[in-house]
A and B are shown apart, each in its own frame.
Chain A
Amino acid sequence: MTRTLAIAKRILMELMRDKRTLAMMFLAPVLILTLLNYVFTLNTTPSVEIGTVRVEQVVTDSLKDTSHVHTKSYDSEDKAKSALKDKDIDAILTQTGTNQYQIRYGNTDASKTSMARQVINATFSKNKVEAMAKQNVVLATQAGQQPAATSSVSISEKYNYGDKNTTFFDTIMPIFMGFFVFMFVFLISGISLLKERTTGTLSRLLATPVRRSEIVYGYMLSYALVAILQTAVIVSFTITLLHVEVLGSISLLFLINILLAMVALALGLLVSTLAASEFQMIQFIPIVVVPQMIFSGIIPFDSMASWAQAIGDILPMKYAADAMNAVVLQGQGFSTIWGQIVALLIFLVVLTGANIFGLRRYRKV
Chain B
Amino acid sequence: MEKVISLEKVAKSFGNLKVLKDVDLSLETGEILGLLGPSGAGKSTVINVTLGVEKADAGTAYVFGEAMPKRELLGKIGYMAQSDALYEALTARANLKFFAEMRGIDKKDLDAEIDRVAGVVSLGDFLDQAVSGFSGGMKRRLSLAIALLGDPKLLVLDEPTVGIDPALRRQIWAELHKMKKQGHAILVTTHVMDEAELVDRVALLMGGRVIANDGPKQLEEQYGVPSIEDVFLKAEEETE
CA of A263 to CA of B83, assembled, Å: 32
Chain A interface size, as a band, is 20 to 34
Q: Which residues of A contact B77 (CB under 8 A)?
A: 207
Q: Is A308 an interface residue (CB 8 A)?
A: no
A200 and B72 contacting across the interface, CB-CB below 8 Å? no
Q: Is A210 an interface residue (CB 8 A)?
A: yes
Q: Which residues of B contact A17 (CB under 8 A)?
A: 89-90, 130
Q: Which residues of A contact B51 (CB under 8 A)?
A: 207
Q: Is B208 an interface residue (CB 8 A)?
A: no
Give the residues from 69 to 92 in chain B that come closer than 8 angstroms, CB to CB, to chain A: 69-75, 77, 79, 81-90
Closest A-chain residue to B70, C-beta based? A365
Q: Is B99 an interface residue (CB 8 A)?
A: yes
B102 and A3 contacting across the interface, CB-CB below 8 Å? yes
B85 and A200 contacting across the interface, CB-CB below 8 Å? yes
B52 and A201 contacting across the interface, CB-CB below 8 Å? no
Q: Is A236 an interface residue (CB 8 A)?
A: no
Chain B interface size, as a band, is 20 to 34
CA of A6 to CA of B89, assembled, Å: 16
Q: Which residues of B contact A207 (CB under 8 A)?
A: 51, 53, 74, 77, 79, 81
Across the interface, B71 reaches (CB within 8 A) one of A2, A204, A211, A362, namely A211
A2 and B101 contacting across the interface, CB-CB below 8 Å? yes
B52 and A364 contacting across the interface, CB-CB below 8 Å? yes
CB distance from A236 to the nearest CB of B (A): 28
Q: Is A18 an interface residue (CB 8 A)?
A: yes
Q: Which residues of A contact B90 (CB under 8 A)?
A: 10, 13-14, 17
Q: Is B41 an interface residue (CB 8 A)?
A: no
Give the dominant DSSP class at A's interface.
helix
Q: Is B194 an interface residue (CB 8 A)?
A: no
Give the residues from 84 to 122 in chain A that come closer than 8 angstroms, CB to CB, to chain B: none
B87 and A201 contacting across the interface, CB-CB below 8 Å? yes
CA of A203 to CA of B44, assembled, Å: 12
Known A-B contacts A363-B53, A364-B52, A364-B55; the reply to A203 vs B85 at CB < 8 A is yes
B72 and A209 contacting across the interface, CB-CB below 8 Å? yes
Q: Which residues of A contact B87 (CB under 8 A)?
A: 10, 14, 201
A210 and B54 contacting across the interface, CB-CB below 8 Å? no
CA of A365 to CA of B70, assembled, Å: 7
CB distance from B159 to the nearest CB of A (A): 13
Q: Which residues of B contact A209 (CB under 8 A)?
A: 71-75, 102-104
Q: Is B94 an interface residue (CB 8 A)?
A: yes
B89 and A365 contacting across the interface, CB-CB below 8 Å? no
CA of A200 to CA of B95, assembled, Å: 14
CB distance from A277 to the nearest CB of B (A): 16
Q: Is B5 an interface residue (CB 8 A)?
A: no
CB distance from A260 to the nearest CB of B (A): 27
Q: Which residues of A contact B55 (CB under 8 A)?
A: 364
A199, A204, A211 — which one has the most chain B CB atoms within 10 A of its CB?
A: A204
Q: Is B46 an interface residue (CB 8 A)?
A: no
Closest B-chain residue to A206, C-beta based? B53
Mask: chain B, 159-175; 1 = CB below 8 Å from A; 0 = not? 00000000000000000
Closest B-chain residue to A214, C-beta based? B102
Q: Is B98 an interface residue (CB 8 A)?
A: yes
CB distance from B86 to the nearest CB of A (A): 7
CB distance from B106 to the nearest CB of A (A): 11
Known A-B contacts A13-B90, A364-B54; the reply to A208 vs B74 at CB < 8 A is yes
Q: Is A205 an interface residue (CB 8 A)?
A: yes
Q: Is B146 an interface residue (CB 8 A)?
A: yes
Across the interface, B52 reaches (CB within 8 A) one of A3, A10, A199, A365, namely A365
CB distance from B60 to the nearest CB of A (A): 13
A364 and B69 contacting across the interface, CB-CB below 8 Å? yes
CB distance from A189 to the nearest CB of B (A): 16
CA of A210 to CA of B73, assembled, Å: 11
CA of A211 to CA of B72, assembled, Å: 9
10 contacts between A and B (CB under 8 A): A6-B102, A10-B94, A199-B84, A200-B85, A201-B87, A203-B53, A207-B79, A208-B103, A362-B53, A364-B69
Given A10-B98, A201-B86, 10 extra CB contacts under 8 A: A3-B101, A3-B102, A10-B90, A13-B94, A200-B81, A204-B99, A204-B146, A208-B103, A208-B104, A362-B53
7 A-B pairs closest in CB distance? A200-B85, A200-B83, A208-B102, A6-B101, A365-B69, A207-B79, A209-B75
